[in-house]
Chains A and B, each alone.
Chain A
Amino acid sequence: MSTIPEINYLNHPKGIKSWLMTLDHKRIGVLYLASILTAFLLGGIFAIMIRLELLTPGRDIMGPQTYNQVFTLHGAIMIFLFIIPGIPVALGNFVLPLMLGAKDVAFPRLNLASWYIYIAGALVALYAIFAGSVDTGWTFYTPYSTSTGGAVVAMTLAVFILGFSSIFTGLNFVVTIHKLRAPGMTWFKMPLFIWSVYATAIIQIMATPVLGITLILLALERIVGIGIFDPAMGGDPVLFQHFFWFYSHPAVYIMILPAMGVISELIPVFSHKKIFGYRAIAYSSFGIAFISFLVWGHHMFISGQSQLASMIFSFLTFLVAIPSGVKVFNWIATMYKGSIWLQTPMLYAFSFLFLFTIGGLTGLFLGTLATDVHLTDTYFVVAHFHYVMMGGTVMAFLGGLHYWWPKMFGRMYSIKWSRIGTALIFLGFNVTFLAQFVLGAKGMPRRYYTYLDQYRPLNFYSSVGSWILALGFIITAIYLIHSLRKGKPAGNNPWGGLTLEWTTTSPPPTENFKEPPILTHGPYDFDKIDVKPTA
């Protein structure tokens, strides 16, 4: 029977000030976790409002102007405050140094600064919501964004600030991975989660500055009227889209790569089997990161982009499916002849495999010029990206959260209720978004306040699905929070994992390891070592 260590990073040192001035990556991870889950709640409320409005055509609970603001804020909050920071800050911050056998990240003060910058950005975004709000869509396309009223500059400032948080986190992780690995941990002995987080960090470092300059130019356009996006002044509104999507496409790989890294951790452990194709999965992370910079124009096929550029981008877009496919096949090969343990993290991993594959495959329709003409800016796109972002990243995030929760807080949650939560989330998600593929294929445009009568039934199902989804999340929140006080002590290694974080106590001490860890085996050597899960 395990017990929670008397002194661990959570209860020692004590006091609010010790938390707000902490340099401990684990505490910063917990601060971030609370922050992004709050953002998820806010973004989720906006989502429920959207689906309530779309329950029937015409006005349900709000007018069209408000509706435009609500979907803009849903997108902006979910993307910039939840999913882009997402797994790296909430799970990565906690787990990365532990997995490497390090005492902390390379720049602990920068890490804390990253969190404060995140909070600052969030507060400016909150201010923008109340100071006139934004109705441009999260993509801020010109010329509407440069000419409309509302708090566009405030919101772009918020996103600009958040960009720094992202860059600093990426920088910190890259240096940590290069310099602070435990003795004996060569590059190819690192857990695959680290490889994904590294690839993610590269994207954060190189793409985010371009977003920064885009937002500066947008603000200058609004304030000073520099005119580079205004056709009347010789500018080009499509140029804004190039600038914007050069960041925002790699950004979606910032969202998915860490999720794939989590899955690479879950599947070997819960199949009790060595990962198949370690190097292939490691290299594919970099393949995805590199190709992600080559395809941004596939968001602009109907914007008036030159045909040559469209063709180039479409071709390059197909390429990115290759490394993604490599990962999926390797994960499945890992499970083959494995000893599958259907714990909640594994249920989420299965959800990921199924839903991400659907999301990825539907991306092919959108990457193909001829079909994209019909499907773009319809609900097909909305369904596609929710399948990859939610069916992919959020499922992996939940899987990782349920996997590392006992390590982070020392307590196990109710297995029964976690299965119920998973089932409701999976069911609710599919009811909500499967219908939207059909809606899009039948021609319902996205970002529309109302719709034709023929789209009624599917919209109704989709809205009902959103309520099931919400219920699933509420139940998940309840049992997780409940476990913080009442959960059974988890012990060092409740899942029988072989990566370094499972060698220390749950929760770990502030200095991570009582003795500096010495690497004796690889992260997935289930064929060589048998580790029994602790009680």
Chain B
Amino acid sequence: MSHSENHPAYLAHHFNDPAQQRDASKLGMWIFIMTEILLFGGLFLAYTVFRTLNPDMFYNAHKHLDLTLGTINTIVLITSSVTMALAIRSMQVGRKTQTLIFLFSTLALAAVFLVIKYFEYSHKFHLGQLPGRFYTYTGIEGTNPHIFFSIYFTMTGLHAVHIIGGMTVISMMVVRTFKNHFSAEYYTPLELTGLYWHLVDLIWIYLFPLLYLIG
């Protein structure tokens, strides 16, 4: 099957031209982002309900989160967003090696995020600050302090699942970049991956103040 200038290999048969395909892909990705906003939005609702009903308990409980680690994680994730954006930009100007470097950096930073989260979680496991019926810690004032940790673990847990998913997709992009699937003309999968990753960062940007910065 030969591919002319007008019909490159990456163009699917039911699209007229690369621009149409790219626009369609991007539109699809933004619609997917819409679903993620509503998915996490449900958890934001749960948070709003329980913080409104238990304001003092939330304040007391949140003090037991490690603000330093949380702040570091925020910086880490923001940086990973920068490296992700730069990875795409590198491919926009056709620099394959640079793209790979930035993609690897993004993966590394994501891994750092997860490691820090692991430390945070294991500390809580150790203290008995666990969700729901596994909660055994006694040092927090207020009724039902386990509610805070149920919310905390659900929100950060679902977020961590999305980080892992994102890392998986970024790894796939590393492989495809290496295999020269992308170029300055065609880098749509990278772009879509970037959109997803920025969303993951964006969600954390909201999680951080809600969980760690209750005044």
The CA-CA distance from A212 to B34 in the complex, in Å, is 14
If A210-B38, A214-B42 touch, whether A226 touches B14 (CB-CB below 8 Å) is no
Of the residues A104, A105, A175, A210, contact of B42 by C-beta under 8 Å: A210
CB distance from B161 to the nearest CB of A (A): 10
Residues of B near A227 (CB, < 8 A) are 131-133, 144, 146-147, 150
Of the residues B32, B133, B143, contact of A224 by C-beta under 8 Å: B133
**Is A209 within 8 A of B36, CB to CB?**
yes
Residues of B near A108 (CB, < 8 A) are 12, 14
B1-41, CB under 8 A of A: which get 1 and which 0? 00000000000111100001001100110011011101111
Residues of B near A212 (CB, < 8 A) are 39, 42
A50 proximal to B (CB < 8 A): no
Residues of B near A105 (CB, < 8 A) are 14
**Is A216 within 8 A of B158, CB to CB?**
yes
A120-163, CB under 8 A of B: which get 1 and which 0? 00000000000000000000000000000000000000000000
B interface, over-half SS: helix
**Is A171 within 8 A of B42, CB to CB?**
no
B50 proximal to A (CB < 8 A): yes
**Is B131 within 8 A of A174, CB to CB?**
no
The CA-CA distance from A210 to B150 in the complex, in Å, is 18
Q: Which of A204-221 contact B (CB under 8 A)?
A: 205-210, 212-214, 216-217, 220-221
CB distance from B88 to the nearest CB of A (A): 21
A400-418, CB under 8 A of B: which get 1 and which 0? 0000000000000000000
**Is A174 within 8 A of B31, CB to CB?**
yes
A1 proximal to B (CB < 8 A): no
The 3 closest A-B pairs by CB, nearest first: A234-B144, A225-B133, A213-B42
Closest chain B residue to A208 by CB distance? B35
Residues of A near B133 (CB, < 8 A) are 224-225, 227, 233
B205 proximal to A (CB < 8 A): no
CB distance from A414 to the nearest CB of B (A): 36
A59 proximal to B (CB < 8 A): no
Of the residues B14, B39, B147, contact of A180 by C-beta under 8 Å: B14
Interchain Cβ contacts under 8 Å between A and B, 21 examples: A106-B14, A174-B27, A178-B24, A179-B24, A180-B20, A209-B35, A209-B36, A209-B39, A210-B39, A213-B42, A216-B158, A220-B132, A225-B131, A225-B133, A226-B131, A233-B146, A233-B147, A235-B147, A236-B49, A239-B49, A243-B45
Closest chain A residue to B41 by CB distance? A210
B79 proximal to A (CB < 8 A): no
Closest chain B residue to A220 by CB distance? B154
Residues of B near A239 (CB, < 8 A) are 46, 49
CB distance from A451 to the nearest CB of B (A): 38
**Is B154 within 8 A of A226, CB to CB?**
yes
B54 proximal to A (CB < 8 A): yes
Q: Which of A240-255 contact B (CB under 8 A)?
A: 242-243
The size class of the interface chain B forms with chain A is 35 or more
A167 proximal to B (CB < 8 A): yes
CB distance from B103 to the nearest CB of A (A): 24
Residues of B near A217 (CB, < 8 A) are 42, 46, 154
A interface, over-half SS: helix
B82 proximal to A (CB < 8 A): no
CB distance from B129 to the nearest CB of A (A): 13
Q: Which of B110-154 contact A (CB under 8 A)?
A: 131-134, 143-144, 146-147, 150-151, 153-154
Residues of B near A110 (CB, < 8 A) are 28
Residues of A near B14 (CB, < 8 A) are 102-106, 108, 180
The CA-CA distance from A172 to B146 in the complex, in Å, is 41
**Is B46 within 8 A of A175, CB to CB?**
no
B43 proximal to A (CB < 8 A): yes
**Is A175 within 8 A of B50, CB to CB?**
no
**Is A179 within 8 A of B23, CB to CB?**
yes
Q: Which of A167-187 contact B (CB under 8 A)?
A: 167, 170-172, 174-175, 178-180
The CA-CA distance from A224 to B132 in the complex, in Å, is 6
Residues of B near A107 (CB, < 8 A) are 24, 28
The CA-CA distance from A224 to B154 in the complex, in Å, is 11
A319 proximal to B (CB < 8 A): no
**Is B34 within 8 A of A206, CB to CB?**
yes
The CA-CA distance from A418 to B173 in the complex, in Å, is 54
**Is B35 within 8 A of A205, CB to CB?**
yes
Q: Which of A48-81 contact B (CB under 8 A)?
A: none
Closest chain B residue to A206 by CB distance? B38
Of the residues A174, A178, A228, A233, contact of B46 by C-beta under 8 Å: A228
**Is B39 within 8 A of A225, CB to CB?**
no
Of the residues A103, A175, A225, A235, contact of B24 by C-beta under 8 Å: A175
Closest chain B residue to A235 by CB distance? B147
Q: Which of B163-204 contact A (CB under 8 A)?
A: none
Residues of B near A236 (CB, < 8 A) are 49
**Is B35 within 8 A of A228, CB to CB?**
no
**Is A233 within 8 A of B144, CB to CB?**
yes
Which residue of A102, A180, A228 has the most chain B CB atoms within 10 A of its CB atom?
A228
**Is A179 within 8 A of B27, CB to CB?**
yes
Residues of A near B12 (CB, < 8 A) are 108
Closest chain B residue to A170 by CB distance? B31
Closest chain B residue to A105 by CB distance? B14
Residues of B near A106 (CB, < 8 A) are 14, 24, 28
**Is B20 within 8 A of A224, CB to CB?**
no
If A174-B31, A175-B28, A179-B27 touch, whether A228 touches B38 (CB-CB below 8 Å) is no
If A206-B35, A210-B38, A213-B42 touch, whether A178 touches B49 (CB-CB below 8 Å) is no
The CA-CA distance from A272 to B85 in the complex, in Å, is 56
Residues of A near B41 (CB, < 8 A) are 209-210, 213
If A179-B23, A213-B42 touch, whether A224 touches B28 (CB-CB below 8 Å) is no
Residues of A near B38 (CB, < 8 A) are 206-207, 209-210
B31-67, CB under 8 A of A: which get 1 and which 0? 1101110111111011001100110000000000000
